[in-house]
Amino acid sequence: MNEQQLSERLEKVVSYIPAGSRIADIGSDHAYLPCYAAQKGQVEFAIAGEVVEGPFQSATKQVRSLGLTGEIAVRKGDGLAVIEQEDAIDVVVIAGMGGALIRSILEAGATKLAGVKRLVLQPNIAAHQLREWGEANQWALISEAILCEDNKIYEILVLEPSPEIVTYSDAERLLGPFLMREKSAVFQAKWRHELENWQGIQAKIDANNTKNAERLAELAVKIKIIEDVLR
Ligand code: SAM
């Protein structure tokens, strides 16, 4: 993967960035995504945000070597702290981290989201955390994608601010409202695997020990949701 040949996962993320956007790619690592988007002429301006020195240096080098310092600002900082009001960022991308970490970045930087029109989030795990965050903060899902690359399954969530209260059913929160309706082959493979995993855990938990009752009840709810959707 490089700035010219992105992974299928990051290509899909880029496809949700409207042409001419001003983006912040948080946790940019080598800045491949903003470099690719800038070279394609898809973004007017990009921030490549990184909190760790090594990746920050890699991003800086990458942007300089491609002569993109006019379009891409590489900034070192934690989460959304790298965004300034005058950047007029309209799309925030956060990809390649766990759902809980992405959620904590959104929570810690809530004030920086004023004026942002779209979030493109790609959690490696626990996407439900981001649907929950959307419900709590009035950001509605407008699209979702699921894909398999190098034997790993990735979900992409696209959210926009909503004037109305956002609520999902338990199934929609866990599986994704768009994804569970589409029920693609990748979606089915992911949730069959999770189902087997959770059934295995369920079988190993001692049901006679009352301490396990809550855990077992939680598992039973999740298993039923998946069984119903996969049926
Ligand atoms: N976004 C790229 C992608 O999807 O391929 C890189 C993903 S990489 C696995 C995660 C990056 O996020 C790392 O470079 C890490 O240093 C950075 N990161 C983690 N927490 C961060 C935070 N709070 N603020 C900014 N960057 C962060």
- For 151-186, what is each residue's pLDDT tens digit? 999 999 999 999 999 999 999 999 999 999 999 999
Q: What's the whole-number average pLDDT of the chain? A: 96
Query: Same domain for 135 and 64?
Result: yes
**pLDDT given at position 209:** 86
Distance 220 CA to ligand 1 centre (A): 34
What is the model's pTM?
A: 0.96
Q: Residues near ligand 1 with C-beta < 6 Å?
A: 10, 26-29, 49-52, 55, 78-79, 95-97, 105
Cα of 27 vs centre of ligand 1, distance in Å, is 3
User: Could you tell me if 192 and 115 lie in one domain?
Assistant: no
* Terminal Cα-to-Cα distance of the chain (whole angstroms): 38
Domain encompassing residue 122: 8-167
Residues 158 and 52 placed together within one structural domain of the fold = yes
Domains contained in the chain, number:
2
Question: Is 61 found in the same domain as 19?
Answer: yes
pLDDT at 5 over 80: no
pLDDT at position 43: 98
- Give the model's pLDDT for residue 1: 67
Residue 181 domain-assigned?
no
SS3 content of the chain, % helix, strand, coil (to 5): 50, 25, 30
Same domain membership, residue 21 and residue 84: yes
Confidence label for 2 from pLDDT (cuts 50, 70 and 90): low
88-108 average pLDDT score: 98
For the CA of 81, the closest atom of ligand 1 is 24
Rg (CA), the chain: 19
Same domain for 103 and 50, yes or no, is yes
Ligand 1 geometric centre to CA of 58 (Å): 12
